[in-house]
Amino acid sequence: MKPLFSVLFVIFLLVGSLKVLAVPQTPARGQKTSKAAADKKNDGEEGENRFRENCGRCHNPPDSLSPREVKAVLQHMRVRAMLSAEDEQLILKYLAP
């Protein structure tokens, strides 16, 4: 009975160590993976499209608003323009990256 537990224990340790070694390395702080950078670029482009569709009829993109101001304006305009939560987030990423 003891040899069976010993073998199971060793197998458990080996499997556990393999899982630890198989964890992908994350990039250092400030570095982005190419996929994340591509997703951010796509979100910005999609945000620009959503801005044109929903906001561009009445507004030009603001040149000098802080991200905090952009967020406040979007929260107010979301109700008036009937923007979805997704529209709001994409437009926010476009206006305040």
pTM of the model: 0.58
For the segment 7-20, what is each residue's pLDDT rounded down to a tens digit? 676 676 666 555 54
H-type alpha helices, the chain: 2-21, 34-54, 67-81, 85-95
Which of 27, 79, 65 has the alpha carbon at shortest distance from 94? 65
Q: Tell me if 80 sits within 8 A of 59, measured CB to CB.
A: no
Task: Assess if residue 10 is contained within a domain.
Answer: no
Number of structural domains in the chain: 1
Rounded Cα distance, 64 and 20, in Å: 47
Q: What is the pLDDT of residue 84?
A: 93
Residue 62 covered by a domain? yes
Domain of 91 in residue numbering reads as 38-97
Q: Residues with Cβ < 8 Å from 91, sequence gap 6 or more?
A: 47, 50, 51, 54, 55, 74, 83
| Residue 88: inside a domain | yes
